[in-house]
Amino acid sequence: MNPLSNLNSYELNRRLSCELAGQCSGCPWIEQIYGEQLLSKKSSFLEGLEALGLQVAEAEIVPVALGGFRSRLDLTLQTYKGKTRLGLYSSQAREIIDMRSCPLALPELNDFLAQLREVGLPKVQKGSLRLRVGPEGQKGLWIDFANVDVRDLLQEDIWLEKISEFCTIEMGQRFKRLIRKPTGEWGLGDLELAPWFQTYVGPELLPQHLYLPLGGFSQTSWLATQRMISALLNRMSLGAGNEVLELFSGNGNFTLPLLFAGKNVVSVEMSPWAGEAIQRSFAEAQEKLPSGYGTLELFRKNLYKSDPELWWKSTWVVDPPRSGLGRLIENLESGTTKLPSEIFYISCFQTSLLQDTQRLMHLGYRPLWIYGVDQFPHTPHCEWIVQFSQ
């Protein structure tokens, strides 16, 4: 089966237009034809498997979009020699390329970026800004600056006053919400969960809000999420068990679809806010679909310091960070944890995925199914879903 057969031939033969092509490091492959990018990603992954001694006949890779789909932008703000720039690093040097818009972003997100730039940018030496638009069109800005710069912003007042008129604001690694104190001064309140993203549930894959802080992790777009969920559930419907252990579950991107596919899910995540976020999203989804869902158990644990034997199920769904499974595989190798019958491994980082594949091979696992969702067009990266079975 041709993995590109479901694509529009016009899109496949295009290059994405960008005024910063060749300058911005965000899209190193942007000057390549899109269809060639997809085939290169597939070939690269299969060659990595072959280097491990695995001869895999087929893998499928599907696009999300050529551009215009991202719901968040993670940008760097830098003031150098009196000039403030907001964008991504240059592909040629360690300096920021000033970005007025991004062809990968949703139109609403580019509008938000334009609004922010129209107000003006704070002159900080260096910091990070995450711009988000939510499923209902709401706008949010997460500011991650040095403590001294946060203090100065709160005291300066004017910039925050202007941008707070059109967006929600969070600051710092603890995702504290910007508030007005009774004195009228700016301050930082508690973390607040809000529907900044969405997943898809039920037989019709209905959109469902996902709650998270502005600075919390999510996929790049809900369109990419829909592609991944559809593929995962279709594959699991062919015979996966109904008892699922989900590790690194985040805010429920896959948890809710699994539940509304009738799976009984034990969900384990280390983020302090994740459990509440999943419960809120699950309760909201139950109002939409009052039957046909499985049971949910939630645990907050550091998965690199915990023993999955506590929650063992025959089917695992894992979506680890870029570092991979780490100690979880050590537990399997040592016999501390009973081997599951199958593992659905979701990863955006090919290096750690291949490293973990090699270790899983030594435990008797082989990849049965490989599916790529290209939510990182114009880069070497791809989101892979691999089913391992003994």
Q: Is residue 3 scored above 60 in pLDDT?
A: no
Q: Are residues 238 and 345 in the same domain?
A: yes
Tell me what the mean pLDDT of segment 84-101 comes to. Answer: 93
Q: Are residues 154 and 222 in the same domain?
A: no
DSSP secondary structure of 292-320: S---EEEEE--TTSS-GGGG--SEEEE--
- The model's confidence at residue 91, banded by pLDDT at 50, 70 and 90, is confident
Phi then psi for residue 260, to 5 deg, are: -85, 5
The residue assigned the tokens 């969960």 is: 193
Task: Name the CA radius of gyration of the chain, rounded.
Answer: 22
Query: What type of residue sits at position 200?
Result: Y
Q: Are residues 224 and 131 in the same domain?
A: no
Q: For 212-262, how does the pLDDT look when each residue is reduced to its tens digit (9 = 90+)?
A: 999 999 999 999 999 999 999 999 998 767 999 999 999 999 999 999 999
CA–CA dist 32, 377 (Å, integer): 10
- 21: in domain: no
The predicted pLDDT at position 303 comes to 87
Q: Are residues 180 and 234 in the same domain?
A: no
- The model's confidence at residue 5, banded by pLDDT at 50, 70 and 90, is very low
Question: Given 164, 192, 220, which residue is the final one in a domain?
Answer: 192
Tell me what the mean pLDDT of segment 343-352 comes to. Answer: 97
Q: Are residues 161 and 209 in the same domain?
A: no
- The model's confidence at residue 8, banded by pLDDT at 50, 70 and 90, is low
- 33: in domain: no
- 4: in domain: no
The whole-chain average pLDDT of the chain stands at 93
CB burial of residue 247 (10 Å; 0-12, 13-18, 19+): buried
CA–CA dist 222, 200 (Å, integer): 9
Q: Are 389 and 365 in contact (CB under 8 A)?
A: yes
Query: What type of residue sits at position 195?
Result: P
Q: Are 165 and 180 in contact (CB under 8 A)?
A: no
CA–CA dist 75, 89 (Å, integer): 9
The residue assigned the tokens 């607040």 is: 192
Q: For 105-151, how does the pLDDT look when each residue is reduced to its tens digit (9 = 90+)?
A: 999 999 999 999 999 999 999 999 999 999 999 999 999 999 999 99
Q: Are residues 225 and 293 in the same domain?
A: yes
Strands (E), the chain: 60-63, 72-80, 83-89, 96-98, 126-133, 139-144, 168-171, 176-180, 186-188, 194-201, 206-212, 243-247, 264-269, 296-300, 315-318, 342-347, 366-374, 383-389
Q: For 193-213, how does the pLDDT look when each residue is reduced to its tens digit (9 = 90+)?
A: 999 999 999 999 999 999 999
Q: Is residue 179 scored above 60 in pLDDT?
A: yes
- 354: in domain: yes
Q: For 28-61, how does the pLDDT look when each residue is reduced to its tens digit (9 = 90+)?
A: 999 999 999 999 999 999 999 999 999 886 899 9
- 7: in domain: no
Q: For 273-331, how does the pLDDT look when each residue is reduced to its tens digit (9 = 90+)?
A: 999 999 999 999 999 999 999 999 999 998 888 777 878 899 999 999 999 998 889 88
The predicted pLDDT at position 384 comes to 98
Q: Are residues 246 and 338 in the same domain?
A: yes
- 253: in domain: yes
Partners of 389 in the β-ladder: 342, 366
Q: Are 27 and 378 in contact (CB under 8 A)?
A: yes
CA–CA dist 196, 249 (Å, integer): 17
Question: Given 171, 192, 213, which residue is the final one in a domain?
Answer: 192
Tell me what the mean pLDDT of segment 369-383 comes to. Answer: 97
Phi then psi for residue 59, to 5 deg, are: -145, 145
State the CB neighbour count (10 A cutoff) for residue 364: 10
The predicted pLDDT at position 1 comes to 32
Q: Are residues 322 and 228 in the same domain?
A: yes
Domain span including residue 243: 41-65+196-389
The residue assigned the tokens 């990603």 is: 41
- For residues 351 and 303, the model is more confident at 351
Strands (E), 223-365: 243-247, 264-269, 296-300, 315-318, 342-347
CATH number for the domain that contains residue 338: 3.40.50.150
Phi then psi for residue 85, to 5 deg, are: -125, 145
The predicted pLDDT at position 13 comes to 85
Say how many domains are in the chain: 2
Q: Are residues 187 and 200 in the same domain?
A: no
Q: Are residues 375 and 320 in the same domain?
A: yes
Tell me what the mean pLDDT of segment 58-73 comes to. Answer: 94
- 349: in domain: yes
Binning the chain into helix, strand and coil, the percentages to the nearest 5 are 30, 30, 45
Percent of the residues in the chain that have a pLDDT greater than 70, as a whole number: 97
For the sheet with 176-180, list strands across it.
96-98, 83-89, 72-80, 126-133, 139-144, 168-171, 176-180, 186-188
Q: Are residues 384 and 237 in the same domain?
A: yes
Tell me what the mean pLDDT of segment 257-270 comes to. Answer: 96
Question: Given 168, 192, 216, which residue is the final one in a domain?
Answer: 192
The residue assigned the tokens 């910063």 is: 20
- 286: in domain: yes
Q: Are residues 83 and 187 in the same domain?
A: yes
The predicted pLDDT at position 2 comes to 38
The predicted pLDDT at position 10 comes to 64
- For residues 209 and 13, the model is more confident at 209
CA–CA dist 96, 103 (Å, integer): 18
- The model's confidence at residue 9, banded by pLDDT at 50, 70 and 90, is low
The residue assigned the tokens 């690093």 is: 89
**Token digits for 307?**
């023993």
Q: Are 194 and 254 in contact (CB under 8 A)?
A: no
CATH number for the domain that contains residue 169: 2.40.50.1070
Whole-model pTM: value is 0.94
